[in-house]
Amino acid sequence: MNFTKMHGLGNDFIVVAGEKELPAGADQLAIKLCNRFFSIGADGVVFILPSEKADFQMRIINSDGSEAEQCGNAIRCVSKYVYDHKLIDATEITIETIGAGVQKVQVQVQDGKVVTARVDMGAPILQGLQVPTTVDANEVIDYPIEVEGQAFRFTAVSMGNPHCVIYVEDAVHFDLATWGPKLEAHPMFPRKINVEFATVRSRTFTDMRVWERGAGPTLACGTGACATLVSSVLNGLSDREATVSLKGGDLFIEWSEADNRVYMTGPAEEVFTGTV
């Protein structure tokens, strides 16, 4: 199997193109290939597949073998891959995801290669049961949650995959490894959840660190950055356009008042190719 190692702000993937459908045993394959000590190493395996609804379909298998409904960093990598490898010559690309439907991507090209991509991430889902959480409310904003005696308050947002955003005094140095996995598996989240710890520095700049469902701590999370911006607007902390700074770099996020859709702009990089 040929693969290409790619990353979006350090959130890294093993990208596989050419399969007609998701291979049997993709979960066990991802667990094996994503192992950073005995194999290639990555946060997940991304399969670029044919689509009847869009130019391509994207399926993402996390490093623990679970499937992610959507991934903002992966979709930028896929867009770069299909353009740079001449699978498409248009700078506007549509990609089908299992969680957020068909998404539109506009790539910016220099010297024949994609350098950044602006993704229409769709409208955020805010209804508590649809995120999903166990809270039956139209919006779950600044809601109390307790784990092992520690109290937090979270805002729930789905960007095609579930997120809970928690504001802390210093997201950069927050104890992600202790609280991330406990909150991910909290009974309030029936399908587990991605956990973002955020510190709003100004109305146009936020620090965020993420514990990703199925992958653990990653250097960046595109859907998490989108969820953080939406949450910050809902909590009155941010403008509708802001930079979200992750461990691996910055993403520019816009939540349009005109169409209620969230737009994410950021880079993607190809690291190396190989055969396994």
Residue 25: C-alpha distances to residues 39, 129, 204 (Å): 17, 31, 44
Q: Using CA atoms, how far apart are residues 197 and 107, in angstroms rounded to an integer? A: 29
**DSSP designation for 55:** S
- pLDDT tier for residue 219 given thresholds of 50, 70 and 90: very high
Interior angle at CA 125, CA 11 and CA 223, nearest 5 = 10
Please write the tens of the pLDDT for every residue from 151-200: 999 999 999 999 999 999 999 999 999 999 999 999 999 999 999 999 99
Are 44 and 60 spatial neighbours (Cβ–Cβ below 8 Å)?
yes
Structure tokens at 178: 């202790």
Active site residue 221: yes
Are 227 and 157 spatial neighbours (Cβ–Cβ below 8 Å)?
yes
pLDDT computed for residue 98 by the predictor? 93
Please write the tens of the pLDDT for every residue from 36-50: 999 999 999 999 999
Give the type of residue at 199.
T
The domains spanning 2-120+266-275 and 143-260 adopt the same CATH topology? yes
> How is the chain split into domains, by residue range?
2-120+266-275, 143-260
Are 72 and 225 spatial neighbours (Cβ–Cβ below 8 Å)?
yes
First to last CA, the chain: 5
Q: Using CA atoms, how far apart are residues 255 and 253, in angstroms rounded to an integer? A: 7
Please check if 213 is assigned to a binding site: yes
- pLDDT tier for residue 264 given thresholds of 50, 70 and 90: very high
Q: Using CA atoms, how far apart are residues 184 and 197, in angstroms rounded to an integer? A: 12
Please check if 222 is assigned to a binding site: yes
Please write the tens of the pLDDT for every residue from 97-156: 998 899 999 999 999 999 999 999 999 999 999 999 999 999 999 999 999 999 999 999
Please tell me which residue in 71, 77, 164, 226 is annotated as part of the active site.
71
Please check if 212 is assigned to a binding site: yes
pLDDT computed for residue 68 by the predictor? 94
Residue 275: C-alpha distances to residues 38, 63, 72, 97 (Å): 15, 19, 26, 26
Q: Domain 143-260: which CATH class? A: alpha beta
Q: Indicate the CATH number for domain 2-120+266-275.
A: 3.10.310.10
Please tell me which residue in 34, 77, 164, 221 is annotated as part of the active site.
221
Structure tokens at 239: 């403008």
Please check if 128 is assigned to a binding site: no
